[in-house]
Structures are given as C-alpha cells and as structure tokens.
Structure 1
C-alpha cells in the first residue's frame, strides 16, 4: 500500500488484541527509545487482550488486512493512540483524532510524555492545548509528562 491509500478505521474485536498490542510495542520502541517501559511485552499483550479491547472503546486502523494503528477512548480521555512506525505521516493519526472528536464532541483530554516532541506537535496541530506538566511521579514510567485538553 502506498501513502495515498486509505486505511479502514473500525472498532477493535477480540481477534485484534494481539496485533494491536504489537503495534503499540513497535510504536513505543520507535517513538520513545529513552522511556523505560515498566511492563514486559507479554504483560502489554495481556492488557490489550484482557482490558483494552474487551472493556474500553478500542479502535484499530486496518490496511491490506493488517492492523496499523490503535486508538483507545475512555470517557473523555484519549487513552491510547499508537501507529505502526511505517504508517506515521500517512494521515491515519489525523483520522483517529477526527474520530475521537466526533465520539467526544464535548472535549478530550490526553497525556503524552514531554520527550515525545512529534506527538506534542501532532496534538497541538489538532487544537489540543497543554494545561499541565508533571515530573512523572504520577505515571508508571516515572517520565515527565504533559496533559493536553481539546475543547470545541
């Protein structure tokens, strides 16, 4: 598939959990090489299988029969948005944010790590405003983070 070809956004089903977790793992490793993950790959896969896909509003982007992105909404929180590294810059993230805004028209909040400059630029480009910076003591990674808010 080339960059101009579209992916399908759809609700995740149980059978997507492993592929969605693998996207998360590849994306995290590529985007956040300096951030220490507190969970093993197997723990991440179990969390997707047992919690995120069955109990949250999980969405996947699918292209050529493969999961290339994952987004999880939890109330007004954009809890997860990760793309396969090969799919960054192909508008999949833009489409996920548009979907999140459609699903939560009253507004959204999210956290990202301060070191993740590409994500911060991405969210700011989509109208999110940084409202809180922390020293990381409130997250498992102990990595300074930033909370963003979008209001229509």
Structure 2
C-alpha cells in the first residue's frame, strides 16, 4: 500500500456535493453488493447535498491532477459516520490519511459502524487500532443489515 501524494484532503463545500455523492454511490455498490439500500440514488444525492455537506464535518480527497473527488469522509461528533473511496483508488493510502485526519480532529476517540459483511473494512479499521465493541442484528439501521460498532481510544 502506498501513500498517494497527488491527493489533497480538504473540507467539502456545496460545489462538491454531486461528486461526493457519486463516490459514495460507486463505493457502496462495489464494496457492499449484497446490502440493499433503502434510499434511491436521488435520495442519497439529496441527503449528501442538503445534510452531510452543509451541516456535518465533511472532507474530500481530491486528485491534484484534476481527476476530481476520489474519496469522502464525514465526522459527526465522535462518530466517523462515512468513509468511502472511489473503487479504483483503494489501496493507495487515501483511507489511511482519512483515518489519521479523523484521529487528529477527534483526539479523545472515535466510534464507527460498519456492516458485518464488510470484512475488508473490519481489517482496515483494526489495523488502525479500532476494536469491535458491539455486534447487532441490523434492526437499528435502515438497511436492516447486521453491523458492528468499532471504537478507537488513544
């Protein structure tokens, strides 16, 4: 895994919302093909445009070569609520940089949820010091998909 210096992490603004939604949709489809989304693409786009970008701490990874937005991360209090990368940009260190940034922004600790079927995410977060703290049957999420809560404490 290499760290891609041609990618810049920065706060998202309203102009980024469509590209953030595109990354989210492509990443979700590639990483979680068996998980049924309860929201349409248009509903996801509206949520990202109207809620995530304007009212949450939303970060993007932007390709410095003009390649556009290739990743997104959202912090909501101590919750790392979203971290998605363009499928063709995985394994390039962008996720590592996002997690490092999240830990810098929330030095007292972080929590996150991921689906139990997403074993690559489990390995990724465990490498970054997150520990599984709770497993659920999915009754508490919109997808009704069993999930796991991870916690990182310094």
Aligned pairs (5 A) from 1:32-43: 32-43=32-43
Where does structure 2 lack aligned partners over 5 or more consecutive residues? none
In 2, Cα distance between the equivalents of 1:5 and 1:99?
A: 15
- Relative distance call for 1:149 and 1:72 in structure 2 (3 A) is same
In 1, Cα distance between the equivalents of 2:124 and 2:150?
A: 11
TM-score (norm 2): 0.96
Aligned pairs (5 A) from 1:3-152: 4-63=4-63, 64-65=65-66, 66-152=68-154
Task: Note the C-alpha offset of 1:111.
Answer: 0.1
Where does structure 1 lack aligned partners over 5 or more consecutive residues? none
Q: CA RMSD in A?
A: 1.2
Query: Which 4+ stretches in 1 moved above 4 angstroms?
Result: 2-5
Q: Residue 21 of structure 1: SS of its match in structure 2?
A: helix
Task: Note the C-alpha offset of 1:5.
Answer: 4.2
In 1, Cα distance between the equivalents of 2:103 and 2:3?
A: 24
Q: Residue 29 of structure 2: SS of its match in structure 1?
A: helix
Q: Residue 117 of structure 2: SS of its match in structure 1?
A: coil
In 2, Cα distance between the equivalents of 1:4 and 1:93?
A: 10
Aligned residues: 151
Residues 89-126 of structure 1 show CA distances to partners (whole Å, capped at 9, x for unaligned) of: 00000000000000000000000000000001000000
Q: Residue 138 of structure 1: SS of its match in structure 2?
A: coil
In 1, Cα distance between the equivalents of 2:118 and 2:109?
A: 22
Task: Note the C-alpha offset of 1:6.
Answer: 2.7
In 2, Cα distance between the equivalents of 1:46 and 1:29?
A: 18
TM-score (norm 1): 0.97
* Preserved CA contact (<8 Å) 2:4 2:93: no
In 1, Cα distance between the equivalents of 2:3 and 2:28?
A: 21
Q: Residue 10 of structure 1: SS of its match in structure 2?
A: strand
